[in-house]
Structure 1
Amino acid sequence: MTLAEAVIEGADPEELEHTPLPSTYTAAYIRKDEVGMFGRTPHGVNGVDKDVRRSLHVGEVPMPRLAPDEVLVAVMASAINFNTVWSAMFEPIPTFAFLERFGRTDPRHDLDTHVLGSDASGVIVRKGAAVQRWRIGDRVVTSPAYVDGEDPVTHHDSMLGNDLRAWGFETNFGGLAEFAVVKATQLLPKPAHLSWEEAACNMLCASTAYRMLVGEHGSRMKQGDVVLLWGATGGLGAYGVQLVKNGGGIPVGVVSSREKAELLRRMGCEHILDRTQFEHLDDEKAWRRLGAEVRRLVGEDPAIVFEHTGKETFGASVYVARKGGSVVTCGSSSGFEHAYDNRHLWMRLKRIIGSHGANYLECAEVNRLISLGMIHPTLSRVYPLERAGDAARAVQTNEHVGKVGVLCLAPEEDLGIEDRALRERVGEPNLRLFRSWPVAP
C-alpha cells in the first residue's frame, strides 16, 4: 500500500509513519524555462490573454526533505487564490525570483519548478524533530504565512517579520499537490463538520478579511459601522460580508450582476450596489454618484471601505469613506498603481490601512469561528487536481463566486466530515449556498 492509499483509507498514525514516502508526487506547478512564454505585455493589454491553462502544469515532482520545524501534509484538498493566478501569469514578477532569493538561505526551494497553492486541508504524515504540538495522523488546515520564528518582531506580529513569505507563492511545495511541506506554525485543526474541500477553501481569504476588518491591526470594526465591500461575493468579499454581519456592522456589498446580488441577499446582506452602474470610476462625478447611492441605502457614508480591487476603485474608495473613516486594502487585482485625490484624505482626516495576510493568532481566531459554524465556506465549484489549470482559469476570468476548490488526494467530494451533529445544526443550505449557485461555472 502506498502512503497516499493509506491516507485515503484512513490508516492509523503508526501505519502512516511506517509506510514509505514516495520519491515523487503529483503537483500543479509552473516552470522556470517558461517564464517568458507570454511576453512582457501585461495581461489584458493590447488583447494579450495570459491564459494560465498554458503555464500551469500537473505532473510528478521530487519529494522534498523536511526541516526540523516542518511537517509533511498529505493534501486531501486545496483551493485557488489570486496569487496562484499571478504566479501562472508570471506577474507582476515571476515567482522564481522569490525562490532564488529564498534559496540563499534554504536551497531546497530554488528549483526549476514551483509547486503553487496557499490553501490546503489534509493529514500529517511526517514531522520534523522540533515539532511538538502536532502528531502524525492529525487532521489539519493550513494558514498561509510562512514566518521566521527567530525574528523578534514576529512575536509581536508575524506580518511585520523581515522574512515573511506567502506559502505556495513565495515558497515552494505549496498546497496544490498530493503532498505539501508546511511549517508547524501554519497548522490549525480541521473544522470537524466540514468536508475536505470545504475546509480547504477558507483560511487564506477568511483570515485576510478578519485582519482587515476585526483584528487590532486592521480597521477594528465596531457595532453599527457601515462597511462598503467591493467584490462582495468573491473570495475575500464573501468572508468580509459574513464578518461584518457577525460583528454587528452594516455591510454594503458591491457586485456586478443580478445573480450575484441575489446571492448576497441569501447571505443576509440587505444593502447592495450594482457595480455596472458605476463603470467609470476615474472621476469625481462618478465618485459622487457612488457616495449618494450609499447614503440612499443606509443614510450615511461608510466608516470602512474594504478594498482589494485596487486601481479601478481606489479613488472612489478614498472619496466615499466618511470623515474620519478608513480604507483598508490588501491587494490590487485590477492594477497596482492607484490614483486618488489626496484632498479628500487629509482634509477629511481619513486613513488608508495596509493589510497583508494574517498572523497565526488571527488565523486561529477565524478558524475557531469556522469550527463553531459561525462563518461558512464560500466554495462554489470543485475541480480534480489534474484540472488545476481550469480551476485557476475560472478565477483568472472571474467566472466564479466565492472560492474554487481542488481535490488532491480526496477521491470525491463530501468526504472527511466528522461532526455530523454540528453540520446539521449549521444547516446544509448555509454550508452549500455558494456551491448550489447558478452563477458558478
Structure 2
Amino acid sequence: MDALAEAVRAGASAAELERIPVPAAYTAAHTLESDAGMFKGVADKDVRRSIRVGEVPMPELAPDEVLVAVMASSINYNTVWSAMFEPLPTFAFLRRYGVQDRWAARHDQPHHVLGSDASGVVVRVGSVVRRWKPGDRVVVAPAHVDDHEPATHADGMLGEEQRAWGFETNFGGLAHYAVVRASQLLPKPAHLTWEEAAANLLCMGTAYRMLVSDRGARIKQGDIVLIWGAAGGLGAYAAQFVRNGGGIPVGVVGSEEKAERARALGCEVVINREEIGLSGRGGANSDNAIPDPAEAGRKLGRLIRNAVGEDPHIVFEHVGRATFGISVFVVRRGGSVVTCGSSTGYQHEFDNRYLWMRLKRVIGSHGGNLAEMAEANRLVAMGRIHPALSEVFPLTETGEAARLVQRNAHSGKVGVLCLAEREGLGVTDQALRDRIGERAITPLRHLP
C-alpha cells in the first residue's frame, strides 16, 4: 500500500495528506479492452473471468475534479453489464467521451476502472474546486454532468453529456482511489460505517427520483406501490421511501428468504413471483421465463386486491422484458409505471390497449441529479432511510461480489472494502448511531 493510502487509514490531518505525493499507480477492479470478445458464443458470461484487480496508472487531476481515497464501494448492476461487455463493451463509451477535450481523453484507456458508488476521504482537489478540501469525508453521487450545457441547469439528468460515473466514464469507485467531479460529492453520513455509506447513493438516489421527486411518480399518502425485486438494491430503498411517505409498499420477490428481507425493509405485503408464473429471472433471449402478461397480471391483481383491497397506483419497474407487460396491465386506471432499467432485456412487449384506454402513464427515469441525491442523502444522515447493505467483500474479491449480483443471489446491496482495513470503521457520530440502533441501521444484516 502506498504512503498516501496509509496516511488516510491512519487518520492523517489535511496538511499531512497534502504533503504526501500521489502515487503513480493504484489498485483497482477493472476490465480490459483486449477481453471484450471473451464471451462470444458463451452462455454463462461469468464476470469473475473478466473483472481483474491490479495496478492501473493514476490519471492527472482536472481543475474541477477531486481525488478521493476510497474506503469502500459497492456493486451495482452496471458493473455486471460492464464485465459482461453487454449490451456493448463500455470501451465504446470511453472512446466517444474521449474525443471531447484533453481531460476527457484521459478516460479512453485500454482498461476501465469500474464502480459507481464510493465513500472515502478527499486527498486532492483541482485548482477551481472551492467547497471541498483534503481530509473531507464524502460519498460520491454517480451523475457525471456537463455544467456548460443549458439543460443541465434545469435538471442534471437532461444534459446530452450526462454520464454514469464508473460505467460511462473511467476511474470509478471499485479501487483505492477514484477521480470524481466536485459536483458529485456529498458529505458522508456521520453515523454510518464506510461500507454502509458506500452502499446507498446510486440505488437510493435512483429510487428517490422515481418515486418522490417531482420528475417521477410523486407518491402520496395512501398510494399502493408495487415494487418488483423488493429485496434487491433498488427495491430496498423504494420500500423505505413508500413506507416513509405514507404509502403501502407491495413487494414481489423470488423466494421466502427474500420475502423476509422485504418485510424487514417495510413491505406490508410480499408476493412470491412464482405465484404468478414468473419462475425464472428471464433475460434478453429467455422468452420461456416470461408468462403471458394478461394472465400473470390478473393473478397478480387478485393477490394485491385480496391483500390491500385495491389495484396499485404506481408500479416501480426495473426488471424490464420479463415484467413490463405485467406492470402495464396491473397498474390501476390512471396509474403510473415508472421505469429505470431492464435487467432481463430491453425489448419490452405490452398490450397498448391497457395503456391508452385506461389512461395509464409510463415514466422513464434515470439516476438522480445532485439535488435529488442530496435530499436522499439527508434522509440517511437523519436516520430516516437506512442502508440496504447485506454483505461485504474485500476489493480482491470484486469478481465474486459481482457474480453474486449477476446471479441475483443477493439481497439489498453488496459492499466492497477498498482501503478500509475491516468492517465497522468510519463512524464519527456514535451517539446518533446508538439512538437509531444497529438493527434499524442494518436491517438486512440482522436476518439469518
Task: Report the TM range for the smaller structure's normalisation.
Answer: over 0.9
Q: Within the alignment, does 1:202 sit opposite 2:200 as a pair?
A: yes
- Structure 2 Cα separation of the partners of residues 267 and 37 of structure 1: 39
Unaligned runs of 5+ in 1: 42-47
Q: Which residue of 2 aligns with 1:267?
A: 265
Superposed, 1:254-403 pairs within 5 Å as 254-280=252-278, 281-403=291-413
Could you tell me how far apart the structure 1 residues matched to 2:266 and 2:160 are?
40
Q: 1:23 is matched by which residue type in structure 2?
A: A
RMSD of Structure 2 on Structure 1 (CA): 0.9
Return the TM-score normalized by structure 1: 0.97
Q: Quote the Cα distance in structure 2 between the aligned partners of 1:40 and 1:326.
A: 39
Structure 2: distance between partners of 1:189 and 1:174: 18
2:93 corresponds to which of 83, 95, 98: 98
TM-superposed CA distance for 1:110, in Å, is 0.3
CA contact (8 A) 1:28 1:385 kept: yes
Worse-matched range after superposition: 225-234 or 284-293? 284-293
- In the alignment, residue 76 of structure 2 is paired with which amino acid? N
2:67 counterpart SS class: strand
Alignment of 1:411-422 (within 5 A): 411-422=421-432
Q: Give the structure 2 partner of residue 429 of structure 1.
A: 439
> Cα offset for 1:261?
1.3
Q: Is the 8 A contact 2:334 2:359 kept in 1?
A: yes
| Superposition map of 1:123-202 within 5 A | 123-202=121-200
Q: CA deviation at 1:283?
A: 3.7
Residue 73 of structure 1 corresponds to which residue in structure 2?
Answer: 68
Q: Is the contact made by 2:293 and 2:350 (CA closer than 8 Å) also made in structure 1?
A: no
Partner Cα distance (1:248, 1:26) in 2:
45
| Whole-angstrom CA distance in 2 between matches of 1:244 and 1:145 | 24
Alignment-derived partner of residue 44 in structure 1: none
CA shift for structure 1 position 377:
0.4
Task: Establish whether residue 51 from structure 1 lines up as the match of residue 46 from structure 2.
Answer: yes
Structure 2 CA distance for aligned equivalents of residues 30 and 314 of structure 1: 31
Deviations 1:88-109 (A, max 9, x none): 0000010000000011011100
DSSP-derived class of the 2:392 partner: strand
* Structure 2 length-normalised TM: 0.95
Q: Distance in 1 between matches of 2:266 and 2:138?
A: 30
Aligned AA (1:9): A
Within 2, Cα distance between the matches of 1:352 and 1:425?
A: 41
**Gaps in structure 2 of 5+ consecutive residues:** 279-290
Cα distance in 2 between the residues matched to 1:76 and 1:391: 16
Q: 1:85 aligns with which of 58, 80, 101?
A: 80
Q: Which residue of 1 aligns with 2:119?
A: 121
2:239 maps to a residue whose letter is V
| Contact 1:282–1:312 (CA under 8 A) maintained in structure 2 | no
Q: Distance in 1 between matches of 2:425 and 2:132?
A: 22
| Preserved contact between residue 293 and residue 329 of structure 2 (Cα < 8 Å) | no
Q: Tell me the residue number matched to 1:63.
A: 58
Count of aligned pairs between the two proteins: 432
Matched AA of 2:5: A
Which ranges of 4 or more aligned residues in structure 1 deviate by more than 3 Å?
none
Q: Secondary structure at the match of 1:109?
A: coil
Displacement after TM superposition at 1:40 (Å): 5.1
Residue 38 of structure 1 aligns with which residue? Answer: 39
| Counterparts of 1:66 and 1:357, CA distance in 2 | 25
Q: Distance in 2 between matches of 1:437 and 1:204?
A: 24
2:4 is matched by which residue type in structure 1?
Answer: L
SS of the equivalent of 1:435 reads helix
Identity %: 64
Offset at residue 415 of structure 1 (A): 0.2
Cα drift, residue 266 of structure 1:
2.5
